[in-house]
Structure 1
Amino acid sequence: MNFPALFTPGRIGPLEIPNRVVKSPQSTATSNPDGTVSRRTVEHYRRLGEGGIGLVMMEYSYVDDDASKAIHNQLGNSSREHVAGLGWAADEVRSTGAKVGLQIAHGGRQKFLGTAPIKSATESSWADVEGQYGVVPTPMTIDEIDGVVRSFGEAAARAWSARFDLVEVHAGHGYLITNFLSPHTNWREDEYGGSFENRARLLLRIVDEIRASVPADFPLSIRLSVTDYEADGIPIDETVELCRQLEAHGVDVLHCSGGHHAGMEWEVSPWYQVRAPHRWGWEEVKKAVSIPVIASGSLVTPEIADDIVASGSADFVSLGRAMLADPDWARKAREGRVLEIVPCIRCNDGCLHRGLNRGRSVGCSVNPQVAEEGRFPVPPTARPKRVAVVGGGPAGLKSAAVLHDRGHAVTLFEPAELGGLLVHASGSTVKQDLAGLVRHLSNEIARRDIEVIGERADANALVKRGFDTVVIATGAPIRRPDFPIDPMAVVVHSADVRADRPYTGTAVVIGGGLQGCEAALRLSEMAGLEVILLESELQLLTGDEVFTDVERLPVFLEGAGVDVRTDVRVVGVDRAGVHIVRGSERDVLPADAVVLALGRAHPDSGLTDDLRAAGVDVHVVGSAVKPGRVFDAIHSAFFTARTV
């Protein structure tokens, strides 16, 4: 399967694009503190171009030095001093055969830095920003609005001077222009507030200013949210009318996404959100305009992306996190090597939670080399060894593949199905991204000359086989309950909850961390099953969980009909059900199945100690070091294996 719809040329205004695949603009925080392009920035975008993408859209760049900069180490386009570096980046990307665009933006109320001044349509504040330093947005004056309009025009002219192939205005996702477009954040009473015509005035003025500032054949894209998904926000009929007017004002392409940062489950859709959530919206836009439409938002797989173009749903597809996971996504899809694509698991862990949110550059759970392109090669070893990898979970599978690529003879020991604790994802709609990762990692073993032995390895057997090195990837044991369990009760671990082993009646999940929440969500997909989730704390997800899970997963559990009960202590499980205590009250919850989701205990070092005592070179990766998430498994495996 080579996805012909994706890999036919397309056109945006006078610009011909080699194929229909667009790299969605995403902040990398790799620029210098003054916004100038760094070598890391250039190498990141050149690497994306080398992956076969038709159009690489570089991240949002701030347009003035007043209040438009939103995030640390953001790309700048506020003065002539930025043009030389932008031109360097544009030339490097274009040298790969890809076209390259630049997004220009004003942060508005979503100034993640949290520092004054924050300028917006009104004083409507986003709690996450205000919570940093207590700074609330200042409503923009007419003079300031006029200045921002000029700044966008000047920034577009600088993009043209730097020889980008097109420029894009960010008018979505809760940034300044959306602050004006949405009634949710705009309650002005002047000519920029109230009616749709007034709220659209700023964007239309910016478009006119850009058209007057650049040559007529320089394509202009508008990135917008089909809606912000707020009850009092942007309705789709206004978006459709806005797009008609944008076309009339000379816009060449509409880049359609959705949501804003206060509703991250729509803007950066996590694993439990449906794929392509904004399809309904961009299809309404496409029916109303004659210019091309770019579809964006959790498209992740070539099958989804190709269907969107082939069906006429949109003219181009835009992928962001999927290209961080694998910059060769487009090339592999074109060559039919789908299982070789490293899939985005939409965890928001590496890119946001441990990346931008912590003041770092962008990262990726499944791609340790993102934003560090070329710095961590996997060189051939000068001393090939016989290496055993013990454990076939994500850390073991990744280790085995990297060790093989270095030139070692690798044997993998796994007594069960490859994938470790992740095999539960198979068949579950909410875990389809993780199931894709298991298929990919397993395929990476299958397509290499790696011997897989379906047995549990002990120290004596490994020593007798004469391995030079052993990599321990056995994970961490399941935490034992501190309450009695009748052996006659139907009790399973959360990792054993699978779509192909359905339950009926009532299932009680004990533990409201990520393990319990996602198990409850998987159980809710089973027909005719009532799901009760118990947590001893006052709220769910109290550990070091990814912020999108903490903020929105409880809402999805409620929507799925899961009965969530917090501040509940379990004191026993027997054939009558789950015995609980809440305050001074005791109760028994009848259960046809009880699911334990108590987390994992500290890993056992016995195998490691025995091997080292026998003089074997041993390396420990993944949760065998410390219980963690996919990020920890893949990163520790990669960085360990490349040095063995």
Structure 2
Amino acid sequence: MNFDALFAPGRIGPLEISNRILKSPQSTATSNADGTVSARTVNHYRRLGEGGIGLVMVEYSYVDEDASKAIHNQLGNSRREHTAGLGWLADEVKSTGARVGLQIAHGGRQKFLATAPIKSASDSSWADIEAQYGVVPTPMTAAEIDDVVTAFGEAAARAHNARFDLVEVHAGHGYLITNFLSPHTNRRTDEYGGPFENRSRILVRIVDEIRASVPREFPLSIRLSVTDYEPDGIPIEETVALCRILEAHGVDVIHASGGHHALHEWEVSPWFRPRTPHRWGWEQIKPAVSIPVIASGSIVTPEIANEIIASGSADFVSLGRAMLADPDWARKARAGRALEITPCIRCNDGCLHRGLFQTRSVGCSVNPEVTEEERFPITAADERKTVAVVGGGPAGLRSAAILADRGHLVILFEPNQLGGALVHADGAAIKQDLFALVEHLVHEVSRRDIEIVREYAGVDEILARGADAVVIATGAPQRAPDFPIEDCANVVLSAEVGAANPVRGSVVIVGGGLQGAEVALRIAEMGGTKITLIERGPALLAGGEVIVTDVDRLPTYLDAAGVQVRLNAPVIGVDRAGVQVATGDGEEKIEADTVVLALGTAPAQNDLVTDLRTTGLEVHVIGSAKTPGRVFDAIHTAFFTSRLV
């Protein structure tokens, strides 16, 4: 398939761009503590430029030394000493043929550092930040607003001096300017509060200040949220009117996203949310202005991106997490090799949960090299070996491909469908991103010279193939129930439920961890079911396998899907009529046509590992066969182990 629309040249103001693909600005937390550019920052953005995109938008940089810095190791653009490093960064990206822009921002009430002072339009606090240190935003004075306006103008001038091709003001996602724009966070009664004209005043002043500080031919972008999705927040009608005003004041492009951190399922939409959630909004902006509109938000495949451009929905597409997953996204799409793109699975695990939320640099579940570019190359092995990979799940598939790239003769043993525990995602709308990963991993194995043996691999089978080394990727077993199950009961495992094996009628799911929650949503998709989710403990999603964006929002989606949740309900037994649970008053029978066990995984016994090691073979264990985990663990252990075999 070709993606011609996506690779047509485009223009932002006088700036010519080779194609319609942008890397969305996205914090990496790779800068030095004082905000200066580090080698890691440069390597990361240069690698993105090498991937063939038209414009690399560098992450948000803080504009003053007062309260605008939002996160650890954030890029700085608050003083002259930052400019030299920014110039280094800009030159390195432009050397790849890509254009490069810099985003400038003030954190406002979303100061993740949670340290005083936090300055915003009003004292309206984001509970997550206030809970850390008890710091509440201080409403900005008129003089402080004047200072921030000046700071934005000076930061734009420094971006121009550093020879960036474009500067972008972050006026969305819940940062300072959004705090003024949204009635949800702006309770002021002065000239910056109340009606739309007043709430938009600070942004218009910032635009005017920037236009007075840089040459007119230096393009200016505004990134904004089509709405913050708060009931009392920014209405789309105001956003459209704002965009018209911004164009009149010299803005060259509108970068349309949505949401804010308090409603992060709109800003960094997770796997259970539909893709392109803000399309309805940017499509109202586009006909209202004559300047280009950039579409942003869960645009993960070239098919989706190309259709957006071809249909006239937007003029450019902006990809964030998708470019972390595969910096060569654009190059592979241009060549028509879409299945070679490592897909973003929108898990928010590596980038957020184990990354920025842990005060680390950003990472990625499916790309272990993010922010560590050039440190872990896949090189030819010193000695060519015959390597048996046992298990065709995500860890085994990734390992097999890496081993083949290192020059080894690889034999992959898998008696069942390739994809392992992820094959249940086939046909499920909420799991479409995960199944895209399965298709990619299977494709990567199929296009290499890897023999696939459709049989169980025991010691004899492995030795018969002349293996010098073995990689065990057999996954982890499902946790065994600690309650009796009658032989005639209709019981299935969560991984067995899918489009090819649907369930109907009354369904009881035993286990309220991630397995239970996601299988409940999969079954709800099928229709014609009454679903009860049983959890023995006091809360859903309490296990270690869940991440913040799952815990915060999945219960809401379960409720919307009509799933009845029963907490503090340990199972006593299962029979043909349903599930018997203990209650505070005794026992209760919950009737069910089908009982789905979603009890999580248990540590693998790995008897095969023990037996193989007695033969003297080199044996490595990866993925859940080593320690039960998520996709992050499967891919990372496969990568770091296989590059050394």
Q: Which moved more, 1:259-268 or 1:553-562?
A: 553-562
Alignment deviations for residues 51-88 of structure 1 (CA, whole Å, 9 cap, x no partner): 00000000000000000000000000001101111111
Letter in structure 2 aligned against 1:635: H
Alignment deviations for residues 173-202 of structure 1 (CA, whole Å, 9 cap, x no partner): 000000000011110111111111110001
Aligned-pair distance for 1:460? Answer: 2.5
Partners of 1:203 and 1:291 lie apart in 2 by 18
For 1:566-605, what aligned pairs fall within 5 Å after superposition? 566-605=567-606
Give the ranges of 4+ consecutive aligned residues of structure 1 lying more than 3 Å apart after TM superposition: none
For 1:234-633, what aligned pairs fall within 5 Å after superposition? 234-544=234-544, 545-633=546-634
Partners of 2:12 and 2:301 lie apart in 1 by 23
Alignment deviations for residues 1-21 of structure 1 (CA, whole Å, 9 cap, x no partner): 120110000110111110000
Partners of 2:475 and 2:185 lie apart in 1 by 47
For 1:630-641, what aligned pairs fall within 5 Å after superposition? 630-641=631-642
Alignment deviations for residues 75-125 of structure 1 (CA, whole Å, 9 cap, x no partner): 000011011111111111111111000000000000000111100011111
Alpha-carbon contact 1:463-1:616 (below 8 Å) kept: no
SS in 2 for 1:508: strand
Partners of 1:91 and 1:7 lie apart in 2 by 23
Partners of 2:644 and 2:163 lie apart in 1 by 41
Partners of 1:222 and 1:560 lie apart in 2 by 36
Aligned-pair distance for 1:465? Answer: 2.8
Match status 1:27 vs 2:27: yes
For 1:37-76, what aligned pairs fall within 5 Å after superposition? 37-76=37-76
Alpha-carbon contact 2:492-2:595 (below 8 Å) kept: yes
What's the TM-score, normalizing by structure 2?
Answer: 0.99
Letter in structure 1 aligned against 2:368: P
Q: How many residues align?
A: 644
SS in 2 for 1:550: helix
Alignment deviations for residues 457-481 of structure 1 (CA, whole Å, 9 cap, x no partner): 0123222332100000001111000
Identity of aligned residues (%): 72
Partners of 1:539 and 1:243 lie apart in 2 by 44
Partners of 2:303 and 2:176 lie apart in 1 by 34
Match status 1:165 vs 2:127: no
Alignment deviations for residues 300-332 of structure 1 (CA, whole Å, 9 cap, x no partner): 000111111100100000000000000000010
Letter in structure 1 aligned against 2:613: R
Alpha-carbon contact 2:497-2:503 (below 8 Å) kept: no
SS in 1 for 2:6: coil
Alpha-carbon contact 1:111-1:129 (below 8 Å) kept: yes
Letter in structure 1 aligned against 2:279: R
Aligned-pair distance for 1:584? Answer: 1.6
Alpha-carbon contact 1:355-1:361 (below 8 Å) kept: yes
Partners of 1:361 and 1:85 lie apart in 2 by 19
Partners of 2:264 and 2:82 lie apart in 1 by 31
Q: Which moved more, 1:78-87 or 1:582-591?
A: 582-591
Alignment deviations for residues 565-599 of structure 1 (CA, whole Å, 9 cap, x no partner): 11111111111111112212422111111110001
Partners of 2:287 and 2:37 lie apart in 1 by 39
For 1:192-211, what aligned pairs fall within 5 Å after superposition? 192-211=192-211
Aligned-pair distance for 1:500? Answer: 2.3
Match status 1:185 vs 2:188: no
Partners of 1:398 and 1:619 lie apart in 2 by 14
Partners of 1:574 and 1:512 lie apart in 2 by 20
SS in 2 for 1:552: helix
SS in 1 for 2:5: coil
Partners of 1:313 and 1:500 lie apart in 2 by 35
Partners of 1:241 and 1:564 lie apart in 2 by 43
Aligned-pair distance for 1:256? Answer: 0.3
Partners of 2:487 and 2:340 lie apart in 1 by 43
Match status 1:106 vs 2:106: yes
Partners of 1:516 and 1:587 lie apart in 2 by 20
In the alignment, structure 1 segments of 5+ residues that lack a partner are none
Letter in structure 1 aligned against 2:102: L
What's the TM-score, normalizing by structure 1?
Answer: 0.99
Alignment deviations for residues 407-443 of structure 1 (CA, whole Å, 9 cap, x no partner): 0000000010000000000000000000000000000
Alpha-carbon contact 1:505-1:529 (below 8 Å) kept: yes
Partners of 1:345 and 1:72 lie apart in 2 by 25
Alignment deviations for residues 253-278 of structure 1 (CA, whole Å, 9 cap, x no partner): 00000000000100000000000000
Alpha-carbon contact 1:463-1:614 (below 8 Å) kept: no
Match status 1:143 vs 2:110: no
Aligned-pair distance for 1:536? Answer: 1.1
Alpha-carbon contact 2:26-2:320 (below 8 Å) kept: yes
Letter in structure 2 aligned against 1:24: S
SS in 2 for 1:109: coil
Q: Which moved more, 1:632-641 or 1:579-588?
A: 579-588
Partners of 1:429 and 1:126 lie apart in 2 by 32
Partners of 1:216 and 1:115 lie apart in 2 by 37
Alpha-carbon contact 2:577-2:593 (below 8 Å) kept: no
Alpha-carbon contact 2:62-2:105 (below 8 Å) kept: yes
Alpha-carbon contact 1:471-1:619 (below 8 Å) kept: yes
Letter in structure 1 aligned against 2:338: V
Alpha-carbon contact 1:463-1:611 (below 8 Å) kept: no
Partners of 1:527 and 1:132 lie apart in 2 by 42
Partners of 2:586 and 2:9 lie apart in 1 by 68
Partners of 2:583 and 2:20 lie apart in 1 by 57
Partners of 1:405 and 1:461 lie apart in 2 by 24
In the alignment, structure 2 segments of 5+ residues that lack a partner are none
Partners of 1:341 and 1:596 lie apart in 2 by 34
Partners of 1:170 and 1:392 lie apart in 2 by 44
Alpha-carbon contact 1:225-1:257 (below 8 Å) kept: yes
Partners of 2:369 and 2:487 lie apart in 1 by 47
Alpha-carbon contact 1:47-1:373 (below 8 Å) kept: yes
Partners of 1:247 and 1:510 lie apart in 2 by 55
Letter in structure 1 aligned against 2:278: H
Letter in structure 2 aligned against 1:10: G
Match of 2:212 in 1: 212
SS in 1 for 2:102: strand
Alpha-carbon contact 1:129-1:135 (below 8 Å) kept: yes
Please tell me the root mean square deviation across aligned C-alpha atoms, in Å: 0.7
Partners of 1:581 and 1:184 lie apart in 2 by 44
